Amino acid sequence: MHIVVPVKLVPDLVEELVIDPSGTTLDPDTLRLQLNEFDGHAIEQAILLKERGGGQVTVMAPDVEGVDDVLYTAAAKGADRLIKLCGNFGQSVNNHAMACAVANLIKPLQPDLVLTGVQSHSDLDGSMGPLLAAYLGFPYVGYIAGVTLSDGRAVVRKEYPGGLVAEMEVVLPAVLGIQAADQPPRYVAFTRIRQAMKTASIEEQTVEGLDVSGGPTVSRMYKPEAAARATMIEGKPDEVASRLVELFRELGVL
Amino acid sequence: MSQDIYVIIEHLRGQIADISYVLCAAARQMAAASGGNVVGLLLGHNVKDLAQDVAVDRVLAVDDPLLANFVPDVYQQVLANLISASAPRAVLFGDTSIGAELAGALSVQLGLPLVSYCRNVRADDGRLTYVSQLCGGKVMVEGELPAPTALVAMVPGGYQAEQGKSTQPPPVETVAPPALAAGRITLKQYIEPESGDVDISKEAILVSVGRGIQNADNIELVRELAEAIGGVVSASRPVVDQGWLPTTRLVGKSGKRVKPRLYLALGISGAPEHAEAITDSQTIIAVNTDASAPIFDIARYGTTLDLLDLVPVLTEKVRQAKQ
Ligand SMILES: Cc1cc2nc3c(=O)[nH]c(=O)nc-3n(C[C@H](O)[C@H](O)[C@H](O)COP(=O)(O)OP(=O)(O)OC[C@H]3O[C@@H](n4cnc5c(N)ncnc54)[C@H](O)[C@@H]3O)c2cc1C
Ligand SMILES: Nc1ncnc2c1ncn2[C@@H]1O[C@H](COP(=O)(O)O)[C@@H](O)[C@H]1O
């Protein structure tokens, strides 16, 4: 069982986002990147499947600031092979181009399973999972919270709104978009990561033939105007709590 | 090629999904600009009476036992045929557990551009512009809707569901499906949401907790506050994914829509997937150390105090007030 997990670093949304002077993209120099939350779940799911049924886990990520930490952390959790995707791709590269190129790198690895995060918050032309699956000619199911494997098939739990789950069976090889792993992503101590830095090695592969034609173009990026803002209550905890109690009374909930 | 706007009418177990009405609302606006009709695509089995109140000019219904439940690759085959046969100006999907993977797969299969996270569509001098919401709603991007045919995955928020409803049932034309074969994906069963716990969609006071709570032990503080005020604890996705609260307490796109009199959001950023499900709350009060968190755009009142400092004091004051 060979499981490939392509992951991505995305802007941390707690930071102030600065729009580039061009007015069409985020200023790359001010972004603080972190692993897409759902990719942490995709890595965890891959490791869990390996622990249960054996196999090999390969994690790959684009070469951006912080990528080595992400890859070594994956190794410390149990990933066997680390690949850094190198090349000349800025923010203007769309997901179709990237998915097509990444599919070409994944194909020779002959994976049984490709796990992506379900989506990230910055994929204007759709999330990579379904695109990757289409380029690879594999089936895709997304919004997955739970995977088991048997007899060349995956049984997955696909989430619908309201807590309804559809259990689906997918013939392998397949691409799955992971929303949540069977278990919360494990914590690894920094000493283990440091150890992985010494023992694991990161391979570099060049992403080529990026064709961004045909995708949507951006003519303007801007911060939304809120229709209204909350009335802020200032003061120490004691003062704010008193004001909130007053408000609860006014609202008739106390 | 046509100027029609196609809408995928999403439904699940006999119920039209709210997002379908949002799509219809957007499609009407687009069709008015493009000069085409709004056509609803309804895939399923015994569903032709389902689309009574969708505001479309007509419905194309494809009926087959293999379409009785959503299965991605089978639905994709049918839609690929319909879309390539008529090349409409745009096809609107919900950016959902059903729509997102159909849109992505069809985009590659048919070689059509895809615009995702679309919240609004504008018509400027007959030209269509998409407006999409990225980075958890912190930035918007816009641009010309690619021509001649664009696939669009839409998020809620830009239109009211009411705008996409009609009291006049649309004409329904049943089209024969292509020869369908089961694909590589099969539905085994539905697993119902756990019952037995409280139903947060019916509660009047929700004390809701997000990642700002930091660890499982701190949940107790929130539980005490909820108890003092006579409410129930609910949560955002990370809290449930960590296993700190059960899935029954999840508020949001994959959880429940709620409409309490008071929604107290503690350490919740207000990401679109959370925010979409709380907009029917009467009053939202948010506690978040980040003054620029999007939750303050939908809350009536807010404070940037650390929730761990505020909550114990607030619990005490609520208890006193009740005596
Ligand atoms: C397909 C899909 C479906 C999803 N469905 C859902 C869903 O149903 N429900 C849902 O909630 N999410 C859902 N999400 C996830 C959603 O995108 C967000 O990631 C999630 O809502 C964030 O939760 P949060 O606000 O608790 O965490 P964060 O976004 O990390 O925010 C935590 C907030 O706490 C604040 N904070 C930190 N410490 C403190 C403190 N001490 N005191 C006060 N404030 C503090 C921070 O400033 C921050 O704003 C879904 C995502 C996808 C892709
Ligand atoms: N450039 C990329 N390199 C590797 N994996 C990616 C890349 N872009 C997206 N992914 C994967 O696709 C998932 C969905 O992200 P996105 O396509 O941005 O919605 C991510 O969680 C990753 O698993």
**What's the confidence (pLDDT) of residue A91?**
64
Q: Does A244 touch chain B (CB under 8 A)?
A: yes
Q: Mean pLDDT, to the nearest integer, of B67-92? A: 96
User: Which ipTM score applies to this complex?
Assistant: 0.96
Residue A90 clears pLDDT 80, i.e. is over it: no
Q: Does A152 touch chain B (CB under 8 A)?
A: no
| Distance between Cα B209 and ligand 1 center (Å) | 9
Q: Does A146 touch chain B (CB under 8 A)?
A: no
Give the domain ranges of chain A: 2-206
Q: Give the closest ligand to the alpha carbon of residue B137.
A: 1
A9 lines ligand 2 (CB under 6 A): no
| Distance between Cα A129 and ligand 2 center (Å) | 7
| Distance between Cα B197 and ligand 1 center (Å) | 23
User: What confidence tier does B178 reach under pLDDT thresholds 50, 70, 90?
Assistant: confident
Q: Which residue of A has its CA nearest to B101?
A: A130
A173 lines ligand 2 (CB under 6 A): no
Give the whole-angstrom CA distance, residue A239 versus residue A214. Answer: 57
Q: Does A43 touch chain B (CB under 8 A)?
A: no
Residue A89 clears pLDDT 70, i.e. is over it: yes
**Three-state DSSP state, B51:** coil
Distance from CA of A205 to the nearest CA of B (A): 24
Same-fold call for B5-175 versus B200-322: yes
Give the whole-angstrom CA distance, residue B196 versus residue A33. Answer: 41
Q: Which residue of B has its CA nearest to A184?
A: B242
**What's the confidence (pLDDT) of residue B7?**
98
Residue B190 clears pLDDT 80, i.e. is over it: yes
Q: Give the closest ligand to the alpha carbon of residue A95.
A: 2
Q: Mean pLDDT, to the nearest integer, of B45-63? A: 95
Give the tokens for residue B52.
């009574």
| Phi, psi for residue A157 in degrees, rounded to 5 | -105, 110
Instruction: For chain B, give the mean pLDDT.
Output: 96
CATH classification (class only), B200-322: alpha beta
Q: Mean pLDDT, to the nearest integer, of B138-156? A: 96
With contact defined as beta carbons under 8 Å apart, do B288 and B302 qualify?
yes
In this complex, the residue of B103, B184, B243 whose CB is nearest that of residue A126 is B103
pLDDT digits (tens, 9 = 90+) for A44-53: 999 999 999 9
DSSP per position, B153-217: EE-TTSS-GGGGB-SSPPPEEEEPPP-----SEEEEEEEPPP-SS--GGG-SEEEEE-GGG-SGG
A45 lines ligand 2 (CB under 6 A): no
pLDDT digits (tens, 9 = 90+) for A101-149: 999 999 999 999 999 999 999 999 999 999 999 999 999 999 999 999 9
pLDDT digits (tens, 9 = 90+) for A152-184: 999 999 999 999 999 999 999 999 999 999 999
Topology of the domain comprising B5-175: Rossmann fold (3.40.50)
Give the whole-angstrom CA distance, residue A117 versus residue B54. Answer: 33
Contacts of B285 in chain A (CB under 8 A): 244, 247
A117 lines ligand 2 (CB under 6 A): yes
| Distance between Cα B6 and ligand 1 center (Å) | 33
Percent of chain A with pLDDT strictly greater than 90: 91
In CATH terms, A2-206 corresponds, of 1.20.120.10, 3.40.50.620, 3.30.470.20, 3.40.50.720, to 3.40.50.620
A106 lines ligand 2 (CB under 6 A): no
Sheet holding A140-150, edge to edge: A202-206, A81-86, A56-62, A2-6, A113-117, A174-180, A140-150, A153-159, A165-171, B185-191
Residue A92 clears pLDDT 80, i.e. is over it: no
| Proportion of chain B in helix, strand, coil states, percent, rounded to 5 | 35, 30, 40
Give the whole-angstrom CA distance, residue A151 versus residue A169. Answer: 11
**Alpha carbon of A161 to those of A197, B45, B104: distances in Å?**
41, 21, 20
**What's the confidence (pLDDT) of residue A228?**
86
Distance from CA of A108 to the nearest CA of B (A): 21
Give the whole-angstrom CA distance, residue B71 versus residue B79. Answer: 12
Give the domain ranges of chain B: 5-175, 200-322
Q: Which residue of B has its CA nearest to A170?
A: B185
| Proportion of chain A in helix, strand, coil states, percent, rounded to 5 | 30, 30, 40
Amino acid at A229: R
**What's the confidence (pLDDT) of residue A220?**
97
| Distance between Cα B243 and ligand 2 center (Å) | 25
Residue A214 clears pLDDT 90, i.e. is over it: no
